[in-house]
Structure 1
Amino acid sequence: MRFIGWALSLILISTALSPVPQQVDAAGKDDYTLMVYMVGSDLESGSGFASKDLREMMKVGSTQKTNVIVETGGSNQWSEKGISNKYNQRWLVNKGKLKLLKKLENRDMGKSSTLSDFITWTVNNYPSKKYAIVFWNHGSGAVQGYGADELHNYNALRLNELRQAFETARKKTNVQFDLIGFDACLMASLEIGQLLQPYGKYLVASEELEPGHGWNYTPIVNAIAKNGAITGDRLGKVILDGFKKQSQAEETAEDITLSVVDLAKLNPVVTVFRDLVKAMSADVGKVEQVKWIAKQRYITEDYGDMGGEGSSDMADLADLAANLSARYPKQSAAVAKAIKNAVKHNLNSPGNAKAQGISIYFPAKDKKNFKRNLNIYDRYDINPTYETFLGSYINHLLKKKSGIKFNNATPRAKKEVAPAGYGSTVEVKVNQEQATSIVDVRGVLSQAVSGAKDKVRLLGIQGDHVGLDAKSGTIRGRWANAWPTLGGEYVPMKELNKQGNYVTYAIPAKLNDKDMELIVLFNQSGQSYEVLGGWHGIDAETGVADRNLTPIQPGDKLTLMYPEYDKQTSQTKMVAGKTFVVPQGLQVETKPLAKGKYAYGFYLTDYTQQSVLSDLTPIK
């Protein structure tokens, strides 16, 4: 009886704290209700990005016939006044202010029941002719899914949990969304589109990582307020245009993607992709064909792989089909055509020039987690034919234990007159069978460590001026007599990807004593570098990709971190260079190499993701 009395008291208190939402007029339904499922996480507690977006919504707010309903939670701290980290709260966004509609217990926003309850409650209390829902937070692609609740061990909604939440809400309300959007990274995939197809008309999401500022909500809310009958594709175009414009203002537009996908036209993509998979499946037992498929996947534009630990292994599906077209021309052409028909609007950028709107999970780089990720992916049971292919394909990759071996491990410099600005050609050889296994060849420039005879500091791993002759097994490269510097120090640059005239590099560093990688975009035409910001990478435990590129500000402390290679032990560890204070107008500048002891070698990766560093030969 004491327990019942205590429970009744809690119910009465909760009712007193939770204002009853205003119902729609007696005539029936409002025109439009926009739901925002806002998992604040570290994006809010660290940078206040969620509160900034709420303020963008409040510039317009709800109207008599349109509603903007937000559920907040999942963050240790909120910047916007009135939002608590102790409760989940539901808000009606009005012009200039938030109106509290309901206060809930501290719920895990990574649970399907939390999401389905939000959808069901909103539909019941704000019935409308049209609905849209936006998922605000982190995204991690087709394997790890969406969200990272900071208050509940960074729990996320995996794809099967998203499906369960939508299905539960539909059974209770029969709701159908005009638009389902992810203001999050890596969620514009075929798998996610298939999963959401029964519940919505259009998907708006990004193939690549999103900058921390995310979407601009003022034009989104304004478009609904002005036209409650706006269609999902037109609203999607408003989202895309607003995102692009804000990214230009925030100077993040060099590395963004966003697409609007017509979910009604996704079935043809699924069908023709299945045909392509069947053709690849017939070849998966043949070593040379597997090597070839792996090479085509390796050169495909992919996302969430910016030099840190781990990779989302999400690849652009149209670019993958184009790379596979030499062996599977009919199936690849059908995939490209179906994607073009399904993607209503598409935004890409210099850093992601081949992004065409729909990605696919295709394991390629995160070898350590191939098995774990495939086990998760299999449970979704979205594309059974493809899942079977991936199982056979990954087993083949993991079965190969031995990596590349050099015929002569020490590269040799040719006696020649080198072009201006470059050193002589250096060569090394592998046998032909090994050569056909190689998917990536990089040149490595190193600098001797003062006072340490057997240690060198690796300055860069780059693909420029390096090539492989697969017939002879000869690898040739030459080094530049100048090198990029930051704060007067040579930078340890690793090439991540090359798209057209643009090359993306990662520079390991500590920014204000926090480990990061500086992401730098190089314009080959203009021979200029742009520091996009600092990136934390992908969390090894949760698989969550850092959405925020941290700006580098004047006055910040910056320490470049160098891979230091010990020739005796063949081990590499990270060591700190000099720490300097970031000046106004920080720039990467190319300067001639200073006099000193340097060495050059090669870093090779085979199709099973086994890598090897050759010996390093002294150079002048």
Structure 2
Amino acid sequence: MKSKHLKISFGLFWALCMIFVMSPASFAETVSSPELSSYTFMVYLNGTDLESEDQGDGTVAGAGSNDLDEMMAIGSEPGVLNVVVQTGGTKQWRNTSISPETNQRWYIKNNEMELIEDVGQVNMAEPETLKDFIIWTATEYPAEKYVLALWNHGGGAHGGYAHDELFEDKSTLSLADIRTALEQASGQSGIAFELIGFDACLMATIETAYIVSPFTKYFIGSEETEPGHGWNYTPIFQKILDDPTISGDKLGEAIAQGFREQALEWDTADETTLSVINAKKIGPVIEALEALVSKAGTDIDEPAAYVEFAKGRNKAEDYGNSGGAHGDSTDMVDIGNLAKQLQNQHPEETSNIISALNNAVVFNLTPPEKKPNATGLTVYLPCKDKEGFEDKLTNYKEINFSPVYTEFIEKYGQIVVSDTTGVELEDSNPASTSDQENSTAGSSNILSSAASAYNGEDITLPSKSFSNSNIRVINFNKPVDANTIFINENIYITNDKNGTSTPFLIEKYELTDNNTKLTLTTKDYFEPGETYSIYIKKDISSKEIKSTDGKTLKDNYKMVFTIISEDRFEIKIKESDISKVNMIYSVLGQYYDNNTKIRFLGMDNDVDFDETTGIVRDNFDGTWVQLGGQFVSLFLMDENDGKYSYSVPIKLNGQDMDLQIIYDTNTETTSILGAWKGIDPDTGLSDRNIIKLKAGDIITPMFYSYDLVTDKDEDIPGEPFTVQDPTKLELQGDYLPQGEYLYGFYIEDIAQNDTCSEFVDISLLD
């Protein structure tokens, strides 16, 4: 038996040898390693609502499917580029080849997706899932260089990245989870990345760079929220095919450039930030940051130093700030801009931060209009979200970022949270205890004159006004010649201060009410107590109103008037609290329903604040902002060099949104960025979709309302309107309708405490 067994075994062995000899190709395929490519590009595509959200027309958003289309426009090329994608995390895919019931791994070819493996339904927000994808891809598709793109929502340092909408816990892949996945993948496979990037919002943080720095040469991410289209993968892959030896920093730059070019096509360029970081140069930035907070951490024990540091923090540029009616904040602040705001207090430390940051940031997209101070990296520093500080701190400590910095933000955050007093006010002025009456043509900034004879005599015109107006309204007792009025050389205004006549530049005129009412707008402002002269040419045939030297004034009618100061609503902040003021807003409300309810029209910063005396005065002129011909509730978010960012709560086609708007006072132009849902309260992740307005959209302005009888509040709709041409939609001021209004001041201090003044009732009359 034994010899027979040996004989059979020998026969089998001989047969197998013959097969291998006869089929060398089959043998090579069985035992050889996969072909080594120049690049393997991994995309961890966690679809969530970016893919599945219902668009209201029977379709889904399909942002992930759109990016897959961009990938397939180029696809893989054997020996050069492998494009490998894992899909999952969403309830429905627009690309029907992908199953929402399971996670799948795909090899992307030109115009084709090849399903390689089905791994079952696993949570895309678990580090184990990410680790397995990295190891599997590195094993199956080895390359000289690897890229990992993490695709989904982002929430900054404490919010992490992505949640899986197929799982109810709403947990995200935290930075600590990402480190775990990368550590285990690196330990088990030996993989090192050329570039790790986040095609997601708010992930260009120094904490993220710190987490990925042991595993990659370069890192790319966005400081601000990303528009829904995200990166453009077509030019990225083409760049690799054109230059298979391309380095991670140059590839990152190509990603950023393609991102901006697509944003220009999609009209989202005002929202785009993207920076490429040399991960090996993050250490000096952290060291410089530690030096700053070590010094500041000692200084803030002194109240004055705390106030100055907090002022700098409040002024520095923030990211992921919902504000408006759906207020929330990630408290992620630009590191370079923070250093700039603190440079007077800590010149050496902030200079070192800026120098180290410039060395680490190898490419930074030109900052957009929305966030002009983006320098490449943010850091978590408590400010606006006092209520969420403890939860954010707990998440933050799990990162194991710099112990020095973590200790500082815990100390500083606790000081801010415990500071609950707010600023105190002196006794209100008499205007706060009595009603004010204003006409919509003669209140606040509008200077209104009494009717006067147009007879060529010197006339002193009584005028009541608030100061700093540049508008003059003149009422005539008979019609005037429109041709006379509307020729530029026919009107001349001088300020007769100190016996001299300084000419005013007139910007525009308006003759109304059957040619009996003239409204002049000047470049300069009329001031209380000053005397002015207006010269108007008698008729067209008479001589010029002024000679070339601008001094000879003859053959014209002359009117002299003196601006008389009128009481303005004012408050006074206690001297000891003046330095603690961060922002002062005017708040306007409108009575309705027989004056039993108030709807609030919003907040603006058009107030006069004397930082020496602490006096705050109103600039209310009887007007408010309209959009699409309807008054809206307006909330000021921030201001940079005359560019004001506003948030307007609306319903867009029935969905609650905040309309993001920038108004440039330098050019008097409006930029409507789009509608945004803000920060998800369950996941802490920022909505990536800034929805552009289109013709046919229905906008319903929303207002916060308070019932004086029941002591209850609610959000109420205003008058809806349909967008005709979104490019012509602008913020425009207009006079409020006749009625009863409420006006007051809202003061925010450096610790985000709010103080409300007494409110005054204002009657606006036709």
Q: Same-fold call, TM > 0.5? A: yes
What are structure 1's unaligned runs of at least 5 residues? 1-21
Larger radius of gyration between Structure 1 and Structure 2: 2
Equivalent residue in structure 2 for 1:336, among 348, 354, 372: 354
Alpha carbons 1:31, 1:129 under 8 Å: kept: yes
Partner letter of residue 533 of structure 1? Answer: G
* Distance change >3 Å, CA 34–CA 383, structure 1 → 2: same
Q: Could you say which residue in structure 2 is the equivalent of 1:53?
A: 67
Quote how far apart the aligned CAs of 1:406 are. 2.4
1:431-486 CA-to-partner distances (Å, cap 9, x unmatched) read 12232222111122333325225x433223112x3243344222233135443212
Quote how far apart the aligned CAs of 1:212 are. 0.5
Q: Could you say which residue in structure 2 is the equivalent of 1:37?
A: 44
SS in 2 for 1:238: helix
Equivalent residue in structure 1 for 2:278, among 248, 262, 269: 262
Does the alignment pair 1:490 with 2:631?
A: yes
SS in 2 for 1:304: strand
Q: Could you say which residue in structure 1 is the equivalent of 2:210?
A: 194
Equivalent residue in structure 2 for 1:593, among 716, 729, 735: 735
Q: Which moved more, 1:377-386 or 1:429-438?
A: 429-438
SS in 2 for 1:598: strand
Q: Could you say which residue in structure 2 is the equivalent of 1:612?
A: 755
Does the alignment pair 1:392 with 2:411?
A: yes
Task: State the alpha-carbon separation in 2 of the partners of residues 39 and 582 from structure 1.
Answer: 33
Partner letter of residue 233 of structure 2? Answer: Y
Q: Could you say which residue in structure 1 is the equivalent of 2:571?
A: 428
Q: Which moved more, 1:491-500 or 1:108-117?
A: 491-500
Q: Could you say which residue in structure 1 is the equivalent of 2:15?
A: none
SS in 2 for 1:280: helix
Partner letter of residue 42 of structure 1? Answer: D
Task: State the alpha-carbon separation in 1 of the partners of residues 610 and 153 from structure 2.
Answer: 42
SS in 2 for 1:540: coil
Task: State the alpha-carbon separation in 2 of the partners of residues 269 and 489 from structure 1.
Answer: 49
Q: Which moved more, 1:608-617 or 1:560-569?
A: 560-569
Q: Could you say which residue in structure 2 is the equivalent of 1:11?
A: none
Alpha carbons 1:23, 1:126 under 8 Å: kept: no
1:255-283 CA-to-partner distances (Å, cap 9, x unmatched) read 22110111111111111111001011111
Equivalent residue in structure 1 for 2:647, among 494, 503, 506: 506
* Distance change >3 Å, CA 24–CA 120, structure 1 → 2: farther
Q: Could you say which residue in structure 2 is the equivalent of 1:139?
A: 154
Equivalent residue in structure 1 for 2:186, among 136, 149, 170: 170
SS in 1 for 2:202: coil
Equivalent residue in structure 1 for 2:746, among 581, 603, 609: 603
* Distance change >3 Å, CA 221–CA 562, structure 1 → 2: same
SS in 2 for 1:118: helix
Does the alignment pair 1:91 with 2:88?
A: no
Q: Could you say which residue in structure 1 is the equivalent of 2:370?
A: 351
Quote how far apart the aligned CAs of 1:295 are. 1.4
Number of aligned positions between the proteins: 597
Task: State the alpha-carbon separation in 1 of the partners of residues 92 and 200 from structure 2.
Answer: 20
Alpha carbons 2:52, 2:92 under 8 Å: kept: yes
Quote how far apart the aligned CAs of 1:28 are. 5.0
Task: State the alpha-carbon separation in 1 of the partners of residues 585 and 335 from structure 2.
Answer: 26
Alpha carbons 1:35, 1:132 under 8 Å: kept: yes
RMSD of equivalent CA atoms: 2.2
Task: State the alpha-carbon separation in 2 of the partners of residues 107 and 614 from structure 1.
Answer: 54
Does the alignment pair 1:456 with 2:472?
A: no
1:147-167 CA-to-partner distances (Å, cap 9, x unmatched) read 121112333110110000000
Task: State the alpha-carbon separation in 2 of the partners of residues 106 and 91 from structure 1.
Answer: 15
Quote how far apart the aligned CAs of 1:409 are. 4.7
Alpha carbons 2:626, 2:734 under 8 Å: kept: no
Task: State the alpha-carbon separation in 2 of the partners of residues 478 and 566 from structure 1.
Answer: 27
Q: Could you say which residue in structure 1 is the equivalent of 2:299?
A: 283
TM-score of the pair, normalised by structure 1:
0.92
Alpha carbons 1:24, 1:127 under 8 Å: kept: no
Does the alignment pair 1:205 with 2:221?
A: yes
Partner letter of residue 408 of structure 2? Answer: F
Q: Could you say which residue in structure 2 is the equivalent of 1:10?
A: none
Task: State the alpha-carbon separation in 2 of the partners of residues 531 and 169 from structure 1.
Answer: 44
Does the alignment pair 1:365 with 2:508?
A: no
Partner letter of residue 528 of structure 1? Answer: T
Partner letter of residue 149 of structure 1? Answer: D
Alpha carbons 1:468, 1:474 under 8 Å: kept: yes
* Distance change >3 Å, CA 109–CA 444, structure 1 → 2: same
1:62-81 pair list within 5 angstroms? 62-65=76-79, 66-81=81-96
Alpha carbons 2:661, 2:672 under 8 Å: kept: yes
Quote how far apart the aligned CAs of 1:108 are. 0.3
Quote how far apart the aligned CAs of 1:84 are. 0.7
Task: State the alpha-carbon separation in 2 of the partners of residues 264 and 133 from structure 1.
Answer: 17
SS in 2 for 1:367: coil
Task: State the alpha-carbon separation in 2 of the partners of residues 470 and 486 from structure 1.
Answer: 33
1:391-414 CA-to-partner distances (Å, cap 9, x unmatched) read 111221222333333223566589
Task: State the alpha-carbon separation in 1 of the partners of residues 147 and 568 from structure 2.
Answer: 59
Partner letter of residue 73 of structure 2? Answer: K
Partner letter of residue 128 of structure 1? Answer: A
* Distance change >3 Å, CA 443–CA 321, structure 1 → 2: same
Partner letter of residue 194 of structure 1? Answer: Y
Quote how far apart the aligned CAs of 1:416 are. 4.1
Partner letter of residue 601 of structure 2? Answer: L
Q: Could you say which residue in structure 1 is the equivalent of 2:16?
A: none
Alpha carbons 2:428, 2:570 under 8 Å: kept: no
Task: State the alpha-carbon separation in 2 of the partners of residues 522 and 330 from structure 1.
Answer: 36
Task: State the alpha-carbon separation in 2 of the partners of residues 393 and 591 from structure 1.
Answer: 41
Alpha carbons 2:107, 2:113 under 8 Å: kept: yes
Alpha carbons 1:62, 1:225 under 8 Å: kept: no
Q: Could you say which residue in structure 1 is the equivalent of 2:556?
A: none
Equivalent residue in structure 2 for 1:235, among 248, 251, 259: 251
Quote how far apart the aligned CAs of 1:102 are. 0.5
Partner letter of residue 386 of structure 2? Answer: K
Quote how far apart the aligned CAs of 1:600 are. 2.7
Quote how far apart the aligned CAs of 1:248 are. 0.8
* Distance change >3 Å, CA 100–CA 591, structure 1 → 2: same
Alpha carbons 1:424, 1:478 under 8 Å: kept: no
Alpha carbons 1:445, 1:479 under 8 Å: kept: no
Alpha carbons 2:466, 2:568 under 8 Å: kept: no
Quote how far apart the aligned CAs of 1:425 are. 4.8
Q: Could you say which residue in structure 2 is the equivalent of 1:521?
A: 662
Q: Could you say which residue in structure 2 is the equivalent of 1:297?
A: 313
* Distance change >3 Å, CA 417–CA 400, structure 1 → 2: closer
Alpha carbons 1:509, 1:560 under 8 Å: kept: yes
Percent identity of the aligned residues?
35
Task: State the alpha-carbon separation in 1 of the partners of residues 288 and 759 from structure 2.
Answer: 47
1:296-326 CA-to-partner distances (Å, cap 9, x unmatched) read 1111101000313321110000000110111
Task: State the alpha-carbon separation in 2 of the partners of residues 367 and 379 from structure 1.
Answer: 20
SS in 1 for 2:570: strand
SS in 1 for 2:661: strand
Q: Which moved more, 1:573-582 or 1:385-394?
A: 573-582
* Distance change >3 Å, CA 572–CA 120, structure 1 → 2: same
Alpha carbons 2:623, 2:735 under 8 Å: kept: yes
SS in 2 for 1:266: helix
